Structure 1
Amino acid sequence: MISIVTPVYNEEGNVVYFHDEVTKVMKGVDMDYEIIYVNDGSKDRTDELIHQLADSDPHVRALTFARNFGHQIAITCGMDFAIGDAVITMDGDMQHPPELIPKLIEKWQEGYDIVQTIRTTTEDAGPVKKMTSAGYYAFINAISTTRVTPGGSDFRLMDRKALETFKKFREHSRFIRGIVGGLGFKQTSIEFEAPARHAGVSKFSMRKMLHFAMDGIITNSTLPLRMAFYIGVLAAVAGVLVILHVLYCVIAGQAVPGWATMTILISIFGSLNLMGLGIVGEYLGRIFEEAKNRPLYWLQDDTASHADNPYRETHDHL
């Protein structure tokens, strides 16, 4: 069996079309399958639509979060509930082409445990997004011991044994691409060109993208902590040189009122202190979140629990 996990957030214009396209592809694959939709607190008709799909299609299971938990947590939830021998995760906006599914399965049947897709380009991506994306991957790979493939997406296939290992990673600040990259196992990749969204607009605002980027950096490297220390050392050396210069001016009788020097020093060391505290604060904040040991998510509804849902009859052992 193949499990297809799809997180959805305000995708009323995409989810039915996506489902039809995936169903067409899976009918051409000689395997049983399930499609798990995880509604990440949508405000539109997405939840209603995936429940309709679950009522009409025995291959569908709809999970509904009690609130918005984020894209990475939604993917994790679907993988927790998946029962397939292999699990494919993909977005429901048609930027992850369903026609690639047979190729992922083919690579899995060749013996690969993880088949990762790599975006070579995105149709509706502007030059700024392409440049910042390339710079981000270069930076994170420079500071991390775990390589994150440039252009890698959350469109991938994982074998059951790789999935069971992945499910042991329960941190709240999740960067799945980094986790999967560090799992090991036998991995391969497939390149693709991401088309434009079928409908709607991207849900990744600038704020969300920056938060996602920060999660990727902090969860994969402690180098920012070391950088704060090294910058502090350089600042201390610069401070000593400034002090020596001031002493020389005093001895040579060239001293002037020291307000300018004091202002410069306060500005330099004040900013460095705040920067260092900010970096340490980010790590402490993550530690605080993990120490609370709260669940990653909780559900408002699961269509498999409905007595009249065909999914319950087909997968009653759940």
Structure 2
Amino acid sequence: MKTISIVVPVFNEEDNIEHFYESVCKVMESLPYDFELIYVDDGSKDRSREILCSLEKQDERVQSIFLARNSGHQLALTCGLDNADGDAVITMDGDMQHPPELIPVLLEKWEQGYEVVQTIRKTTEGVSAMKKLTSYYYYKVLNKLSNVHIQEGGSDFRLMDRVVVKAFRRYREHARFIRGMIGAMGFRQVQIEFVAPKRFAGVSKFSPRKMLNFAIDGVLAYSNLPLRLGLYIGTISGLISLLMILHVFVSKYVLNDAVAGWATLTACVLFFGGMQMIVLGILGEYLGRVFEEVKHRPLYLIARGKPKDEMDRD
């Protein structure tokens, strides 16, 4: 019988863990598959770890991995994928916004031969209009900048065949945007749309700062256009400065109307100084990521669990 691994990152979800566990078990026990439920606790400060230990004792299908510190949602997912042994792996959040009732649909598509079954969130119940708007335009901008198409509304609720998981384990960059990584890998993919319900309990742990960092990672991981944009800005600024120098010479030697214009001078200094800072900031973002990668530090550290050997993930 085929085995399905379900990977769930957890961060301060004490009110959701047991309900999610019961919902997933109810769905999976009605299907002709064995399954394992892998929780990756990403440095929770509430009772999440205590609850996970309790579930492990009562159900051998539950495995818990405790990270040494909060490493972030994408690295927690990576840790789960590194330690999943199923013929197919489903990644999903444990707050019930990724409905377990959709699992049979993912498995049906997998049985039809698709190696990646990606869910597309049409909308989220109760989400603000501002968040919908920013998400919509973010993906629009990202796809304009990137050579890899990233589906609008894409989520980390997906199924991956064992072959895809093995391939994914070869990607070891620190700044992770898994939605883009999976899309860029190829394989035979299909998409399923769904409406995300409200969280079962608690509030989102994805703060505006984390959302901003996640958005920046998505842009910088799949496009070098910002670097070229810096070149374009510098070129345009240089041309404008040449025009302004020409204006100065005409005023001085042709019109004989040169007036000390501190306002014009100040505006020019601020404009070109600002352009330089923009370009330096873009360079700094890329160099910062290079700096992180060349140190070759581990993506995450496990405080408790059974991690696979770094060189034996297959």
TM-score interval, normalised by the smaller of the two chains: over 0.9
TM normalised by structure 2 equals: 0.96
Q: Which residue of 2 aligns with 1:300?
A: 303
Q: 1:156-189: per-residue Cα shift (whole Å, max 9, x none)? A: 0000001111110000000000000001000001
> 2:220 corresponds to which residue?
218
1:35, 1:59 within 8 Å by CA — same for their partners in 2? Answer: yes
Distance, in Å, in 1 between the alignment partners of 2:186 and 2:307 is 33
Contact 1:51 1:303 in 2 (8 A): no
Q: Verify the 8 A CA contact 2:83 2:307 in the aligned structure 1.
A: no
Q: Secondary structure at the residue paired with 1:250?
A: helix
Matched ranges for 1:100-119 at <5 A: 100-119=102-121
Residue 124 of structure 1 pairs with residue 126 of structure 2: yes
| AA matched with 1:30 | P
Match of 2:293 in 1: 290
Measure, in 2, the Cα distance between the counterparts of 1:206 and 1:185: 33
RMSD value, Cα: 1.3
Give the SS at the match of 1:182. helix
Contact 1:107 1:115 in 2 (8 A): yes
SS at match of 1:249: helix
Q: Within the alignment, does 1:45 sit opposite 2:58 as a pair? A: no
Identity score, percent: 54
Which runs of structure 2 are paired with 1:1-318 in the superposition (5 Å)? 1-251=3-253, 252-302=255-305
Shift of residue 304 of structure 1?
A: 9.0
Letter matched to residue 131 of structure 1 = L
Structure 2 CA distance for partners of 1:243 and 1:304, relative to 1, 3 Å: closer
Distance 1:94 1:304 in 2: 27
Distance in 2, matches of 1:149 and 1:260, equals 47
Query: Could you tell me how far apart the structure 1 residues matched to 2:149 and 2:126 are?
Result: 27
CA distance in 1, matches of 2:200, 2:104: 21
Q: Secondary structure at the residue paired with 1:233?
A: helix
Give the deviation of 1:248 after TM superposition.
1.3
Does structure 2 conserve the Cα–Cα contact (< 8 Å) formed by 1:89 and 1:154?
yes
After superposing the two structures, state which structure 1 stretch, 291-300 or 250-259, moved more: 250-259
Tell me the amino acid that sits aligned with residue 164 of structure 2: A
Give the counterpart letter for 2:250 in structure 1.
Answer: Y
Q: Which amino acid aligns with 2:37?
A: I
Secondary structure of 2:185's counterpart equals: coil
Other structure's SS at 1:54 match: helix
Q: Is the 8 A contact 1:170 1:296 kept in 2?
A: yes
Amino acid at match of 2:291: F
> How far apart are residue 258 of structure 1 and its match?
3.6
Displacement after TM superposition at 1:262 (Å): 2.1
SS of corresponding position for 1:150:
coil
Partner SS for 2:60: coil
* Shift of residue 303, structure 1, vs aligned partner: 6.9
Between the two proteins, the alignment pairs up a number of residues equal to 306
